[in-house]
Structure 1
Amino acid sequence: MGLRKKKQRQQHDSAPAPHEGPAPTATDWAVELRGVRRRYGRGTGAVHALRGIDLALPRGSFTAVMGPSGSGKSTFLQCAAGLDRPTDGSVRLGGTEITGMSENKLTALRRTRLGFVFQAFNLLPSLTVEQNVLLPMRLAGHRPDRRRAAEMLSRVGLGDKGRRRPGQLSGGQQQRVAIARALVTSPDVVFADEPTGALDTTTAREILNLLRSAVDGMGATVVMVTHDPAAAAHADRVLFLADGSIVDHLQGASADRIAHRMTHLATATAPEYAGVAA
């Protein structure tokens, strides 16, 4: 097969599936990045962590983000979640432009409209499980809804653990608490950063199934950074980053296919795949 035909076949394989029905409007997007760049430093020593990300993710979707070390995954998540400000471009979450927001408004937005799940769980050891789940409501100045906390704990299989402390739970149970905490405010987006990195294979699968069920059963939107093809296979769509650019993506792919694409990612260049995730 000639080089031109091979590239055309690759681009067709990675091209986004067409939307069925009416085209989504701005309010249908849970996450929208337009021309997002992030540069650290100046001059010849500047590091270009993101090189113009154009991306729109619909509500009720599960997206995995993968790439080699240094590809920009962490910076992408931080900019998308309002934890870091892009050098150029704009970010919208749930239809709200956050790029120029004050830090106080950003903090309020993160507490009420975003959920976070981290590799290290980030639970407060002095609080009970129930209190940890209710923490986003307390921080936002809202009256804690214990019935809502109980509902979320039941959804993650910990309905009888509300009075326990995190230290009394296994790692997998602590991550379940973190998921309940992330979902308790019905956020626009849940950002998950290597959520299974500290767990064994069986427990990791259980956690990923919970995230998948949150999308399918609750209409949640999940954006997950991971290095694990088996984890990424739970997502609807996998985005591949390299050198600060989205160079490829797959939809509904198996772990083997994702691993194969990761293996060959080093040979892909951003210009060949420009715009595949727009």
Structure 2
Amino acid sequence: MRLRKGKRQNADHGPEVDNRPGAPAATPTLAVELRDVRRQYGRGAGTVHALAGVDLALPRGTFTAVMGPSGSGKSTFLQCAAGLDRPTAGSVFLGGTEITGMSENELTELRRSRLGFVFQAFNLLPSLTVEQNVLLPMRLAGQRQDRRQAQEVLARVGLADKAKRRPGELSGGQQQRVAVARALVTGPDVIFADEPTGALDTGTAAEVLGLLRNAVDALGATVVMVTHDPAAAAWADRVLFLADGAFADHLERGSAERIAARMAVLTSHASRAGAMAGAAA
């Protein structure tokens, strides 16, 4: 990755260190760090506070699920944390690098080389083979396309024999496993998963979540997953609950039942708050 002006890279090729005067100090042991991140849309009376001062510190090698009622800010959180959207205020660090002031080109380069993404809709290119889809992040980042590495990650997700197939020849679960392999191939600082099991049946969803869990446990990957499904969130080390643009609660290694109960409370509070706001208007 090209170094930004005013930064140096550690001799051991560790995270970038920002030496600019007045720049906030990174915490190298953290994979994801948000400091008082706010995201507003609109102005005046119509302003929407999608994120209202989010603070978060996620160590490397952890699996975190983020849940919340509709309109709580889940999508905005993921977009700001992954550098897909710019916060109105606050600082975001990924892998020890402060990304908030990066240019669009720098953010694009970072996403290609140091982040992995798994989306609900798979986002595979139908004209490419499975192997070519897995290698796409390397190709876009200008790196050498390592076919042996592609074979290794495809074997890890149980698709070593599907390398020459096209996505249209695979089931939905197999396509999502290709997406997981694509996310893993560059050894990213963080894998962001946005409703990765939303289009899958229960059994196939468990297979995909098992792959993400194994990436954390066996490879030391860091996974941040937004989901509405308590059963999916139960695979995580920690579940964070968003409400009104801020984290309102959390559970450590919660069961699906406990997570669902906590979500029911938050949703009930959100509904009552909405009703009161409507009555006041």
Q: Distance in 1 between the 2:186 and 2:143 partners?
A: 10
Which SS does the other structure have where 1:265 is aligned?
helix
1:11 maps to what in 2? Answer: none
8 Å contact from structure 1 (residues 247, 268) kept in 2: no
Q: Which residue of 1 aligns with 2:245?
A: 244
**What secondary structure, in the 3-state scheme, does the structure 2 residue paired with 1:247 have?**
strand
The corresponding residue for 1:41 is 42
Percent of aligned positions with the same letter in both sequences?
79
CA-based RMSD: 1.0
- Paired with 2:62 and 2:178, the residues of 1 have a C-alpha distance of 22
Question: C-alpha distance in 2, partners of 1:234/1:268?
Answer: 25
Q: Does 1:255 align with 2:256?
A: yes
After superposition, the C-alpha distances for 1:234-264 in whole angstroms (9 at most, x for unaligned) are: 0000000011010000001100000000011
Q: Cα deviation per residue 1:142-187 (whole Å; 9 max; x = unaligned)?
A: 1100000000000000001000000000000000000000000000
**4+ residue runs over 4 A deviation:** none
Measured in 2, the distance between the counterparts of 1:119 and 1:268 equals 28
Q: Which residue of 1 aligns with 2:21?
A: none
1:88 partner letter: A
Once the two structures are TM-superposed, the CA of residue 268 in structure 1 deviates from its matched residue by 5.5
* Pairs within 5 Å for 1:89-128: 89-128=90-129
1:129 alignment counterpart:
130
CA contact (8 A) 1:31 1:94 kept: yes
TM-score (norm 1): 0.87
Residue 267 (structure 1) shift? 5.3
Distance, in Å, in 1 between the alignment partners of 2:83 and 2:171 is 31
Distance in 2, Cα, partners of 1:56 & 1:44 = 32
Distance 2:69 2:254 in 1: 19
Distance in 2 separating the partners of 1:158 and 1:228: 26
Aligned to 1:139: 140
**Count of matched residue pairs:** 245
* TM-score, normalization by structure 2: 0.86
Mapped partners of 2:268, 2:176: distance in 1: 36
Matched with 1:218 is 219
Whichever residue aligns with residue 98 of structure 1, its letter is I
Q: Which residue of 1 aligns with 2:170?
A: 169
The aligned residue for residue 7 of structure 1 is none
**Does the CA contact (< 8 Å) of 1:35 and 1:89 recur in 2?**
yes
Secondary structure in structure 1 of the residue aligned to 2:160? coil
For 2:30, the equivalent position in structure 1 comes to 29
Per the TM alignment, residue 266 of structure 1 is displaced from its structure 2 partner at its CA by 3.6
- Cα distance in structure 2, aligned partners of 1:265 and 1:127: 43
> How far apart, in 2, do the equivalents of 1:177 and 1:32 lie?
28
Matched, 1:51 2:47: no
Judge which range, 141-150 or 25-34, deviates more: 25-34
Contiguous gaps of at least 5 residues in structure 1: 1-24, 270-278
